[in-house]
Amino acid sequence: MNSRRDFLQKITASAIAFTVFPHTGVAGKEATERPYDGPVLRVAIMGLGSYGTRVAEAMQSCKKAKLVGVISGTPSKIKDWQQKYNIPEKNCYNYENFDKIKDNPDIDAVYVITPNALHHPQVIRVAKAGKHVICEKPMALNAKEGQEMVGACKKANVKLLVGYRMHFEPHTLEVIRMRNAGEFGKILFFQGLCGFRIGDPTQWRLNRQLAGGGSLMDIGIYALNGARYMIGEDPVWVTAQETKTDHQKFKEGVDETIQFQLGFPGGAVASCLSTYSMNNLDKFFLNGEKGFAEMQPSTGYGPIKGRTNKGELKQPIVVHQTLQMEEMAGIILEGKQPVVPVDGEEGVRDLKVMDAIYEAAKSGKKIALKL
């Protein structure tokens, strides 16, 4: 096993078979018993790599969202997807001509699943074409880019959502419910550990021009975003330290390991670790005056497991991407409001904190935040 990703892919394959979460509309046995006849979000996926494939597979179980188009720079992938998912030729585009989706009434939204550095220009082009956008996280390389993307989508009167799949995950939402109900009392501390040993040194995630950084831009955003939704506040300061043991693999500007600390207005503090050099790191811990919540795995593709001071969490096991696309279809088509936001502004808040983490790691100073 070369990385946590390989392990998670194997787990998810088996998890898909028994996934069901009826009350949110995720397809399963319930879907065959009660045919859905409401509005359907017709989606084109941009970027047909491993995660794009995972999303496409998960969408086969959706009722409210349907894969209808593809955008890729690889003609052979387009042909394969056409055959596998019955995608018509008129809904297939490449990176040069996808602006033409403006004239295609059969596509409602584009899910951008490309390297981080491409998100900004591609999302803006999709918005100008008049289509709603779902963008993988991190939404951009920095907060300035993210804000420009939000502005472009507002100007075009289209929605911009970010691929925060954990914001819909049942165990996660149960912990948030318990916290909101005061069951943990005053929140004091959060710990987020996210990491794996990264493999191929030539992959885009280790290319600063494409990734915008290293582990923080890939896996660390889970701990950062998790600290915010688990504590239920936005941080007001950050400190950070970077550690690098392999300067050959992790070039200048590509972080191997970053530890960062966040301070929150209610007095809680968070201690987080993001790394590309250690496996077995996928854990959240939330501590309050009356109780605690521990999740491990906390953000992997599934199944999520957790416990609180009241016992084991026993929420339904779901395919995250299926549930995410169902709920995002509801947001776009029906104006649904999620418990935890997944809009562009949410993405910008994370980017502001990430900018500050890099600044703090470089300067050694505590950086004040105003989100």
How far is the C-alpha of 301 from the C-alpha of 221, rounded, in Å?
15
CA–CA dist 28, 22 (Å, integer): 8
Catalytic site includes residue 222:
yes
Q: What's the CA gap between 276 and 281, in Å, rounded?
A: 10
Cis omega (within 30 of 0) on the bond before 138?
yes
Q: How many CA atoms lie within 13 A of 266 on its CB side?
A: 15
Task: Give me the catalytic one of 222, 229, 301, 358.
Answer: 222
Give the Cα separation of 99 and 104 in Å (integer).
10
Estimate the crossing angle of helix 50-59 against helix 320-334, to 10 degrees.
Answer: 70
Residues in contact with 274: Cβ distance below 8 Å, sequence separation at least 6, in sequence order: 194, 195, 215, 216, 219, 220, 223, 255, 257, 258, 259, 260
Number of residues in the chain: 371
CB burial of 34-47 (b: ≥16 within 10 Å; e: otherwise) equals eeeeeebbbbbbbb
268 token code pair: 């809680």
- Cα 266 from Cα 315, distance rounded (Å): 29
Measured distance CA(184)–CA(109) in Å, rounded:
39
CA dist., res. 297 & res. 285, Å (int): 11
Q: Token pair for residue 66?
A: 């349907």
Choose the catalytic residue: 63, 64, 131, 137. Answer: 137
Answer for the pair 363, 238: CB distance below 8 angstroms, yes or no. no
Read off φ and ψ for residue 307, nearest 5 degrees. -150, 160
CB 282 within 8 A of CB 8: no
Name the helix (H) or strand (E) containing 322.
Answer: helix 320-334
What positions carry a catalytic annotation?
A: 137, 222
